[in-house]
Structure 1
Amino acid sequence: MALQKNELILFFIITLPSFVLCYSSLHENQLIDKYVDEASEFDSKAYPSYFNTIDDGSNLFKGLIKESADVLCLKSFDKVDSSTSSSAETVSVNDFGAEGDGETDDTKAFEMAWKVACSSKEAVMVAPKKTYRIKPIRFSGPCKSQLTVQVVGPSMAMGKIGGKIHAKPINLSIDLQPCKDAPMALTFCKSKNLMVRNLTIQDGQQIHVSFQKCMNVEVSNLSITAPPKSPNTDGIHVTDTQNILITSCVIATGDDCLSIVNGSKTVQASNITCGSGHGISIGSLGSGNSKAYVSDITVNGAKLYGTTNGIRIKTWQGGSGSASNIRFQNIEMHNVTNPILIDQYYCDRKIPCKEQRSAVEVKNVVYKNIKGTSASDVAIKFDCSKSFPCLGIMLQDINLQHEGRKTAKALCNNVNVTSIGVVCPLCPKLEGQYETCQCL
């Protein structure tokens, strides 16, 4: 059987340990799960395409990734994992001359270990419990079959300046470098049937973990930290990726905890803890008058502490496309500055952006069971486009108080909102005004 072209890139940098993996499985694997219908509580006729596919959380993560013989796993362990197949060949970087003393250049050893692992029928590539110093590496396929990469803690790929990828938290003092043109800490691209588990990533100069053009991905138990004022240090970044499950991650950085951008579809996140940082964001979308599409996004279970935003959708003026079929539910806010925010006038520039008529549409968004405190007066803000108002926005069982007081405000412009159950604060009846209520 002819092998498809597959690519796996592993990218370490001395000034910032960077780990990039790009892999395509040997067989096409279609998106395989459907959500269960939750139309009973809402008007399914109003939003038929959305409520026929939404999940209430009970079956949210069952069978997201189909079991396959062609899987790439990246894990970290306290010892070499014995759960892999007994027939799998263990390929240790130490067997190819890696010193792991934090000083010696171990790049060649990693390249040689990868070549052997990739050409094996089934293999586990292991970086044992040492500190490796590695230059940029590109790992390419095709590989013969299943491949697992194990990082055996506590530390992997430490540079003199930058951050660490390791299995258990370790304190690290660094001299922060300019973020311009700095590398991402860990990037996966064009990967299928991918599992990433049990990693701690610390003090990246830009995005810590990025998934680009991937399909069928499971991410769990990541711990990501960076200084609160470090710019562009998103925790997990999802772009042009389909069918990805992110669970049980703790993220505290200087930018978005979780960011989901153009081309992403069927993204599910659960049990996410954020703080510090900018919260959970969809976008930004539509910059430079571009088209952008995201859909079928579910965040079910999150806690945010002291973030500048809670759950945010942000789009630029002049863009086009849509952000649709989005659900935020079972979320706690603790002293969050903008707990619920849709901003179709997003402008991340020093000078004001010019007003434009075109906009990325925002439609069919559900906020359910969201409680906690706001650090600002405005707990809910829907600042939608005059030309393309936000449609199908639903609030159910919302209770957001002002930190230190018992009232909060909602500001809602150019938005179609339906409220179910107890919603506090409520959108005002007249646009441009605030509505306050006494929260319980």
Structure 2
Amino acid sequence: MSPQSVAISLFTIMFVSFGLCLGSYLEDTYLLTNYQHERLMKQNKEHFSTMKRAHQSTPLSPSTRPHRIVNVDDYGAKANDGRDDTQAFEKAWNEACFTGGVLVVPENNVYHLKPITFSGPCQPNIAFRVYGTIKAWPKMEAYERDRHLWIMFDSVTNLIVDGGGTINGNGRKWWENSCKINESLPCKAAPTAVTFYECNNLKVANLRFKNAQQMHVRFQGCNNVTASNLIVRAPGNSPNTDGIHVTGTQNIIIKNSVIGTGDDCISIVSGSRNVGVTDITCGPGHGISIGSLGAGNSEAQVSNVLVNRATLKGTTNGVRIKTWQGGSGYARNVKFENISMQNVSNPIIIDQNYCDQDEPCDEQDSAVQLSDIMYQNIRGTSASEVAIKFECSKTVPCKGIYLQDVILTPQGDDGAIATCQNVRYVQRGKFHPQCSP
């Protein structure tokens, strides 16, 4: 599927009936709001740029030499002894980047890295092949310079990251020191395991990510991305460990992957458009989410998202859209289709009163506009009474919500209901449970 095929046209669907009903509220949590995280990442960009090598200050011309194999062992990496291999990886990257080579992390070996940035621009078609295991340095003080990052690929074009190996965030100590686990501790940021920042024509495939300190994989400000055949694993009680996070990224395909974490399996936030999510198995976790959007009265823009062929097992949410009051902008042209829910607590949910903070959120007049959202061929079981929840803004109601062949039944003996507030919806085909009057 090409990125262009992600664009969705929902406007040709004929209105059959309109509903307006009332509902309730669901809360989920993040250590930092997306708004705060985006602002911090922008502030750190200046720091990242200073780390670029002198010989990469201008784009390099294409290399006519064959790709060179650059083995990290040849640059001083000492696997399996618990020592710091960061400097060896930096040297190997410098060589691979300058020559357009293939950096190789050998199999059956475990390498330990402190925070590291692999910067571009590089010669075309550079590759980073992980056959063994890269494991995060265990001492938290090594991350004090920037607690948001462990491994970062910055401004690399035509990059391939693959190999079948494992990237292990070694996150248990971070989870134990999270305010989500221990409320007596202050809330502090924890590193994203792997961040791809402003990378174009990127392929990430055939890798395992496990036990991230916080998010596992983050695509930020990228264009033309394919992420496929990934396995992402962390315990269901690990805080803020999103599987794949998409922000400010265009033309991205995420497919054929298995994700089970303590937070969203996939989260899509502002600045993202033309996003295709196909053949995903999710669980445990908080489901597949768009948002949160509009935090701190910010403007959000998300469009042309297709989630097709997904199985969610035992998650706290199924497919979710969450926005803060006071925001602006839009999320539109979103389609969820061919989705199986198995014992999911909130299979379908829109929450425009999202409030992830200790103090209650004041009611505000503005909101992110949600429109042209389709749910088609979604079936399965709900672990909670409310199988469908549309809690939309009073002042900016959800509009153009389409439901076709949506059948959700209770997991247990209790019934299942739908609660719908400030939403204009269209029903076609089978729809169960119906919105309360």
Task: Please tell me the TM-score bracket, short chain as reference.
Answer: 0.7 to 0.9
How far is the alpha carbon of 1:259 from its aligned partner? Answer: 0.4
1:124 to 76, 83, 102: 102
Are the equivalent residues in 1 in contact too, given 2:237–2:262 (CA < 8 A)?
Answer: yes
Among 29, 33, 36, which residue is 2:4 paired with?
33
The answer for the alignment partner of 1:94 in structure 2 is 73
TM-score in terms of structure 1 length: 0.76
Q: Does 1:422 align with 2:425?
A: no
After superposition, the Cα gap between the structure-2 partners of 1:416 and 1:173, relative to the gap in structure 1 and judged at 3 Å, is closer
Range with bigger deviation, 171-180 or 227-236: 171-180
Within a 5 Å distance, the mapping from 1:60-209 to structure 2 comes to 87-120=66-99, 122-129=100-107, 130-153=109-132, 155-160=133-138, 167=165, 174-175=172-173, 176-179=175-178, 180-209=188-217
Q: Which amino acid aligns with 1:33?
A: Q
Give the alignment of 1:322-361 within 5 angstroms.
Answer: 322-361=330-369
Matches within 5 A, 1:287-366: 287-366=295-374
Q: Deviations over 1:158-194 (max 9, x none)?
A: 5447999972699989444424221111110100000
Name the TM-score, length of structure 2 as normaliser: 0.77
CA spacing shift, 1:94–1:395, aligned 2, 3 Å: same
Deviating more after overlay: 282-291 vs 229-238: 229-238
Q: In the alignment, which of 241, 258, 282 is matched to residue 233 of structure 1? A: 241
Of structures 1 and 2, the one scoring higher in RCO (CA 8 A, sep 6+) is 2
Match of 2:270 in 1: 262
AA in 2 matched with 1:100:
A
Q: Is residue 2:409 matched to residue 1:401? A: yes
Partner of 1:21: none
User: Are the aligned partners of 2:166 and 2:209 in contact in 1 as well (CA < 8 Å)?
Assistant: no
**Deviates further, 359-368 or 35-44:** 35-44
**CA distance 1:253–1:34, shift in 2 (3 Å):** closer
Return the alpha-carbon distance in structure 2 between the equivalents of residues 351 and 35 of structure 1. Answer: 39
CA change 1:172–1:426 in 2 (3 A) is same
Instruction: Pick the structure with more helix per residue.
Output: 2
**Conserved 8 A contact 1:298-1:326:** yes
Kept in 2, the 8 Å contact 1:91–1:124? The answer is: yes
Rounded Cα–Cα distance in structure 2 between residues aligned with 1:101 and 1:259: 34
Aligned counterparts of 2:429 and 2:9: Cα–Cα separation in 1: 17
How many residue pairs were aligned? 359
Asked if 2 retains the 8 angstrom alpha-carbon contact of 1:177 and 1:205, the reply is no
2:379 aligns with 371
Cα displacement string for residues 385-424 of structure 1 (whole angstroms, at most 9, x for unaligned residues): 1100100000000110011237421111111111111111
SS in structure 1 of the partner of residue 128 of structure 2: strand
**Aligned residue in 1 for 2:157:** none
Name stretches of at least 5 consecutive residues in structure 2 with no aligned partner: 18-63, 141-149, 152-161, 179-187
Q: Which runs of 4+ in 1 moved over 6 A?
A: 36-41, 161-166, 169-173
Unaligned 5+ runs, structure 1? 1-30, 47-84, 431-440
Q: Does the CA contact (< 8 Å) of 2:6 and 2:305 recur in 1?
A: no
How far off is 1:127 after superposition?
A: 1.0
Deviation for aligned residue 1:205: 1.8
C-alpha contact 1:161 1:174 (8 A) present in aligned 2: no
Distance 1:111 1:238 in 2: 26
Q: Partners in 2 of 1:102 and 1:382 — Cα distance?
A: 53
Q: CA 1:86 to 1:297, structure 2 compared with 1: closer, same or farther past 3 Å?
A: same
What CA deviation, in whole Å up to 9, does each residue of 1:61-120 have, x standing for no partner?
A: xxxxxxxxxxxxxxxxxxxxxxxx993111111111211124222222111111111111
Contact 1:342 1:383 in 2 (8 A): yes
CA–CA distance in 2 between the matches of 1:39 and 1:108?
Answer: 52
Match of 1:438 in 2: none
RMSD: 2.8
* 1:193 match: secondary structure: strand
Identity value in percent: 50
Distance 1:113 1:161 in 2: 24
Q: The residue matched to 2:93 in structure 1 has which SS?
A: helix
